[in-house]
Structure 1
Amino acid sequence: MYFFTYIIYSKDLNKYYVGYTENIEVRMKQHNTGISTFTAKATDWTLMFQEAFLTRQEAQHRESEIKKKKSRKYIEWLINRSS
């Protein structure tokens, strides 16, 4: 089983969201149906980036690493690098 760090984007809000999960498909449904508090403001979230890890701790660490940078440019660089 893998764990994922991911970045999603809402065009309506022009915002990115960084998170981690065990199941990206289920998590995307949660984001787009208002179950997740922050992302409930929009229903057009699109998966832009994902990285797979063997442990939950690694995925959480990567999520924290990305969030600590507080940089939209860094997030967009990650997305462009993976395309």
Structure 2
Amino acid sequence: MKAFFYTYVLYSLSDQKFYTGYTKDLKSRFDLHQSGKVKSTKYRRPLVLIYFEACLNQQDATHREKYLKTFHGKMFLRNRLKKWHDHNKSNLN
């Protein structure tokens, strides 16, 4: 089986903002975020993995990451995660 590349979205419990990235190893990358070893999220912990997509190649994953960071990508995520946003956001704080 071919390896996947993952585009993922984290939610920061400290600043209530999203972080979007991509990786080849989702579990290891999330562990790095959680342990404070990723500069961009070090002071935004704790973090919750709220969304991910699997792609068959790195180019598709990076393209998707860039899209999810745009206005339309953020709108897609809010619509896609509507139930999570409505029910869990207030419970996570």
**Shared fold by TM > 0.5?**
yes
What corresponds to 1:79 in structure 2?
A: 81
When the two structures are superposed, what TM-score results if normalisation uses the length of structure 1?
A: 0.85
Aligned length: 82
Given that 2:13 and 2:45 are in contact with CA atoms closer than 8 Å, whether structure 1 keeps it comes out as no
Quote the RMSD (CA, aligned, Å): 2.1
**Is this contact kept in 1: 2:36–2:45, CA < 8 A?**
yes
Other-structure match for 1:12: 14
Give the Cα–Cα distance (whole angstroms) in 1 for the partners of residues 19 and 39 of structure 2.
12
- The runs of 5 or more residues in structure 1 that have no matched partner are none
Identity in percent: 29
**Could you tell me whether the CA contact under 8 Å between 2:67 and 2:73 is conserved in 1?**
no
Q: Deviations over 1:13-58 (max 9, x none)?
A: 1110000011111011111111111100133111100010000000
Contact 2:68 2:74 in 1 (8 A): no
Range that drifts further, 55-64 or 27-36: 27-36
CA distance in structure 2 between the partners assigned to 1:47 and 1:61 by the alignment: 20
Q: Report the structure, 1 or 2, having the larger strand content.
A: 1
Closer, same or farther in 2 for the Cα pair 1:55/1:28, shift >3 Å? Answer: same
TM-score (structure 2 length as normaliser):
0.76
Task: Check 1:37–1:70 CA distance in 2 against 1; reply closer, same or farther (3 A cut).
Answer: farther
What is the alpha-carbon distance in structure 1 between the residues aligned to residue 5 and residue 75 of structure 2? 25
Q: Which has the larger radius of gyration?
A: 2
